[in-house]
Amino acid sequence: MRFSVRLMAALVGVTAAVALVFAYFQAKAQTRALQNELESRAQALGATLQDRVEALLDAADPAALQSYLVQVENRDSLYGIIVYNDLGTELATTPSLSAALKRLPLAVTRAISENGGRGEFIRPGQAPLYLYALPLHHGPSVTGALGMFYDASYIDAGAARLWRTAFWTLLVEIFLIVLITFLFIRWSFAGTIGRMTLWMKQWRRGVTYAAPPLPDDDLFKPLAEEVRHITTMLAAARAAAEEEARLRQSAESLWTPERLRVHVQSKLQERPLFVVSNREPYMHVRNGKSVQAVVPASGLVTALEPVLLACDGTWIAHGAGDADRETVGPGDHLRVPPDNPHYTLRRVWLSSEENQGYYFGFANEGLWPLCHIAHTRPIFRSSDWEAYQEVNRKFARAAIAEMEGTDGPVVLVQDYHFALLPCLIKAERPDARVAIFWHIPWPNPQSFGICPWQRELLDGLLGADLIGFHIQAHCNYFLETVDQALESRIDWDRFVVNRRGHRTHVRRFPISVDPAELTAASGPVKSPPVDRVALLKEHGVDAVFMGVGVDRIDYTKGIPERLRGVERFLEKHPDYQGRFTFIQVAAPSRSEIPRYRDLTAEVEAEASRINTRFATPRWKPIVYLQRLHTHAEIARYYRAANLCMVTSLHDGMNLVAKEFVASRDDERGVLILSRFAGAAAELRDALIVNPYDTEQLAEAIRAALEMTPEEEATRMRAMHRVVTDHNIYRWAANLIAELTEIRAEEPQPVSAASNIAAGN
């Protein structure tokens, strides 16, 4: 039996049973009430007749008695009246009853023998009657009985009426239940299941155009989630297979997660991979009563997550979420991503003093402005330096504990938060292969030289076997800094530093993104277009052209400069007023640092000043979205935009530039890119700008909006190829290959480490 019929039958059965039971009790109650009412009526009448009848009997006047009975029968709507003697013989009877009774009713006998009024329902013929008998007296003795008969058929008729009504009501209910169930199943279930089935069929057949949205009802949510995962995995597997096939055919060297996995396995030979970074890939944060896993706004996380997903391993990071502690298992481990675990996250806990001194203080008020030439003065406090050393030691202990039992572990340390870590790890585990990747720029030696602890930092870094930077200029500056600050031998041909018997290779590894992550489609199928006008309308703006900027709120990103560029553009080209809107997606960042708070206020003020200057009731030049956005949310803006602006004053790489390019598999959109971002070395088909030059920014916006579709496509295609070929998998493959191919050297005592470890 079909589900719907079974459901309807069950509903109808239950409803009918309930209705019948209810009608039965209702009919019973109504009959009982009518009977009681009839009995009372009879008793009252009996009491008024009794004396008169007794008197007529005593008078022995049968004619008068007969006439009285007929009169009462008519007056009180009785069916009939009979007067009995004490033997039950009829003495007087109204005509309607004369032939009706074949035998003496029990109530009469009982009224005489028990000397009291008695009632009884009888059915002498077709019609039901109610008889009320009461004794007649002569003096104290009972001489007979008076029987009053009522037509009781109206009581049965009432019950029958009630049953009829119940029946018709039930019929209507059944009809409505069947109808509603049918429509509900058709609209809610059949429609939903049909859509899901169709969607899955499409995926199975490889028709991967934009899938209809899955329902989010509570009932379907878990199923929908699972289906979503399966289709995502299917899409990834299919894309990988297609890519592999394409690779085989064209002998191209496209790097995919599968290829990286195989590559890493062959390079690591069963050894697990260890990654250390300050920022964790998943932060658990409290949201009301629930706990949410949040992906922080971090280029580093964006870049490294695909590598860990491809290779498994352990990622050691600071547990900074307010619900992080309650979501880890033994050893402060948890498997992530939460909905599809592929690797282990080991959280390290820091006190707020440690975090203040190490992260906000030394790393972000000291090293960050030291390495970024963005005209914010570094602040060096010795207390911050103490905390920085202590936290590096803490992470070193955690990493060493994780590596226990692994021979020749391979460790990828990330960024300026851990300059001392390579040396600390090597001191304990000389067999480890340690690389550190410096995600931010390395400044010229004069700039770096103002750091009071530059020698310690350089020694810490030189504990590594390999140091990676995004671009060659940063490698050069690093070697020059080492040359000027430390006693060492530098092999400029091979870019190797020899210090205290240890060799450190310095290489350029331009980091990238996973383009497949940023396109909604897979394989050769394009992502579905995003309706720009509709997207702008969501923000209450009527416009046809749109620009986008996506940044952490950081003074290195040149956000105020960019907004002033937009302002100048609208000033110079007023015909774009009312037609062009710039959406700035801004993730709050490091807001405990005064410089960042000032910047946040400055950006808000600039956006509102420019809006006040140009806005009309239905349009404004700047939509400022200040909150953490998911990758999926950001991808929508990328795909809808005519142009993306990356105007960093100084940037190691800037993955927003590459994300924008990767997301534009439609070969549309123009990238306006700062010449001071590392990405400018690779994305040469962007419109390269100096973010300090407001006129140039304004001109670049105009050029982007007025570029011919052919030129736009040519430029975007070229950049897309760069990002696709030089994707994050290639970055990781090169880094790991370089690290594992470095010739192992005799373990040397790393004297600098003992200083760092001792906190000197």
Whole-angstrom Cα distance, residue 373 to residue 447? 9
- Segment 482 to 501, residues that bind ligand F6P, using CB under 6 A: none
Which listed residue (279, 474, 564, 620) binds ligand F6P by CB under 6 A?
A: 279
CA distance 68 to 122: 24
Q: Mask 579-598, x = binds ligand F6P (CB under 6 A)?
A: ----------xx--------
Q: Say which DSSP state 76 is in.
A: T
Query: Which residue, 532 or 650, has its beta carbon nearer to ligand F6P?
Result: 650
In the complex, least distance from residue 1 CB atom to ligand F6P, rounded to whole angstroms: 59
Q: Which of 117, 119, 257, 299 binds ligand F6P (CB under 6 A)?
A: 299
Cβ atoms of residues 656 and 551 within 8 Å: yes
Tell me if 298 contacts ligand F6P by CB under 6 A. Answer: yes
Let me know: does 651 contact 677? Beta carbons within 8 Å.
Answer: yes
Query: Given the rule CB under 6 A, which of 84-92, 151-159, 294-302, 611-619 is the region that contacts ligand F6P?
Result: 294-302
Indicate the residue among 149 and 416 with the shorter CB distance to ligand F6P: 416
Closest distance between ligand F6P and the C-beta of residue 375, in Å?
Answer: 18
State the DSSP string of 375-444. Answer: S------HHHHHHHHHHHHHHHHHHHHHHTT-SS-EEEEESGGGTTHHHHHHHH-TTSEEEEE--S----
Judged by CB under 6 A, does residue 440 bind ligand F6P?
A: yes
Q: Which two tokens stand for residue 166?
A: 């119940």
Residue 163: phi and psi, rounded to 5, are -65, -40
Identify which range of 292-300, 335-343, 631-639, 669-677 contacts ligand F6P by CB under 6 A.
292-300
The residue at minimum Cβ distance from ligand F6P is 300
Stretch of 18-26, 51-59, 296-304, 498-506 lying at the interface with ligand F6P (CB under 6 A)? 296-304
DSSP run (H or E) holding 452: none
Please give the DSSP secondary-structure letter assigned to residue 213.
P
Query: Does 413 engage in binding with ligand F6P (CB under 6 A)?
Result: no
Candidate segments 163-171, 293-301, 394-402, 701-709, binder of ligand F6P by CB under 6 A: 293-301
- Three-state DSSP string of 41-52: HHHHHHHHHHHH
Distances (CA, A) of 685 to 149, 190, 303, 716: 111, 50, 22, 7
Q: Is 415 in the site for ligand F6P (CB under 6 A)?
A: yes
Are the beta carbons of 657 and 679 closer than 8 angstroms?
A: yes
Size of the site for ligand F6P (CB under 6 A): 11
Contact between residue 433 and residue 410 where contact means Cβ atoms under 8 Å apart: yes
Residue 305 or 567 having the CB closest to ligand F6P:
305
| Residue closer to ligand F6P, measured from CB, 279 or 636 | 279
Stretch of 201-209, 297-305, 495-503, 562-570 lying at the interface with ligand F6P (CB under 6 A): 297-305
Please state the separation of Cα 122 from the chain's center in Å: 74
Looking at beta carbons only, is 481 or 589 nearer to ligand F6P? Answer: 589
Task: Tell me which residues in 58-97 interact with ligand F6P (CB under 6 A).
Answer: none
Candidates 168-176, 228-236, 295-303, 401-409: pick the segment binding ligand F6P (CB under 6 A).
295-303
Q: Cβ 714 to ligand F6P, closest distance in Å?
A: 30
C-beta closer to ligand F6P: residue 590 or 664: 590
- Indicate the residue among 130 and 368 with the shorter CB distance to ligand F6P: 368
Please count the other Cβ atoms lying within 10 Å of the Cβ belonging to residue 489.
Answer: 10
Strands (E), 494-578: 496-499, 502-508, 545-552
Evaluated on CA atoms 301, 307, 308, 309, the torsion sign reads positive
Contact 691, 676 (CB under 8 A): yes
Binding mask 521-540 for ligand F6P (x = CB under 6 A): --------------------
Q: CB under 6 A: which stretch of 173-181, 282-290, 298-306, 518-526 binds ligand F6P?
A: 298-306
Torsion angle, CA of 396/402/406/410, rounded to 10 degrees? -50
Distance spanning both ends of the chain, measured CA to CA = 81
Residue number with CB closer to ligand F6P (299 or 549): 299
- Residue with token string 């790890």: 425
Q: Name the phi and psi angles at 118, rounded to 5.
A: -135, 140
Which residue in 79, 97, 204 sits closest to 150, CA to CA? 79
- Residue placing its CB nearer to ligand F6P in the complex, 298 or 389: 298
In angstroms, what is the minimal distance from the CB of 346 to ligand F6P? 17
605 contacts: CB under 8 Å, gap ≥ 6 = none
CB of 417 to ligand F6P, least distance (A): 8
Q: Which of 300, 457, 623, 641 binds ligand F6P (CB under 6 A)?
A: 300
- What lies within 8 Å, CB to CB, of 474 at 6+ separation is 438, 441, 442, 508, 652, 678
Q: How far is the CB of 394 from ligand F6P (least distance, A)?
A: 17
Q: How far apart are CA 130 and CA 81, in angstroms?
A: 11
**Contact residue for ligand F6P among 110, 429, 439, 562 (CB under 6 A):** 439
What six digits make up the tokens of 77?
């709507």
- To the nearest whole angstrom, how small is the minimum distance from the Cβ of residue 333 to ligand F6P? 21
- Of 231 and 302, the one with the shorter C-beta distance to ligand F6P is 302
Which chain residues interact with ligand F6P by CB under 6 A?
Answer: 278-279, 298-300, 415, 439-440, 589-590, 652
